[in-house]
């Protein structure tokens, strides 16, 4: 026999899963319009690398996690320029096996397609979203 409380749990469980999936799907990409120039600045000079996370910081900066073709992980900080100016890479360092940032590796952005099926990102000129599993 189904009690009212059990019925409510059964009714709300699919909603909880859908909300969780939506939050994961959105992840760090919700910051993409403001972080894109920093992502581009950090990826320049890193052929075949992918940005796996990017988060805005105070002071007009962006923190970007990058995975190189050889698997090395970098943490890059880019300074966003004034409107109309290009962002610039301020610093970068290897992070090795450091814990992942929130949502890291849920999406992989690059300056050129890394795998078949990569698509240009409309809200982030110059960046491509690579399909899941693309390395």
Q: What pLDDT, on the 0 to 100 scale, is given for residue 31?
A: 87
Q: What pLDDT, on the 0 to 100 scale, is given for residue 16?
A: 32
Please spell the DSSP secondary structure of 3-64, one letter per residue. -HHHHHHHHHHHHHHHHHHHHHHHGGGGGHHHHHHHHHHHHTT-TT-EEEEEEEETTTEEEE
- The sign of the CA dihedral 113, 79, 32, 102 is positive
Domain boundaries, the chain: 26-130
Residue 34 or residue 1, greater confidence: 34
pLDDT digits (tens, 9 = 90+) for 14-40: 333 222 332 344 578 788 889 999 999
Q: CB–CB of 113/126 below 8 Å? A: no
Residue written as token pair 């004034």:
82
pLDDT digits (tens, 9 = 90+) for 80-104: 988 878 999 999 999 988 888 888 8
Q: What pLDDT, on the 0 to 100 scale, is given for residue 125?
A: 84
Q: Is the predicted pLDDT of residue 64 greater than 90, yes or no?
A: yes
Model confidence at 13, in pLDDT bands (50, 70, 90)? very low
Nearest to 39 by CA among 60, 57, 74, 63: 63
Q: What pLDDT, on the 0 to 100 scale, is given for residue 123?
A: 82
Q: Is the predicted pLDDT of residue 4 greater than 50, yes or no?
A: no
What number of other Cβ atoms are within 10 A of residue 73's Cβ? 18
pLDDT digits (tens, 9 = 90+) for 118-133: 999 988 888 999 998 8
């Amino acid at each position: 026999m189904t009690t009212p409380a059990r019925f409510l749990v059964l009714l709300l469980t699919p909603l909880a899963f859908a909300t969780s999936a939506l939050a994961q799907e959105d992840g760090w990409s919700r910051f993409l319009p403001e972080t894109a120039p920093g992502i581009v600045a950090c990826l320049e000079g890193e052929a075949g690398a992918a940005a796996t996370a990017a988060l805005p910081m105070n002071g007009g900066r962006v923190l970007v996690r990058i995975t190189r073709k050889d698997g090395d992980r970098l943490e890059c900080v880019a300074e966003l320029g004034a409107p109309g100016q290009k962002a610039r890479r301020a610093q970068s360092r290897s992070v090795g096996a450091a814990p992942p940032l929130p949502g890291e590796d849920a999406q992989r952005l690059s300056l050129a397609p890394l795998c078949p099926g990569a698509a240009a990102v409309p809200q982030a000129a110059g960046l491509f979203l690579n399909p899941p599993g693309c390395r």
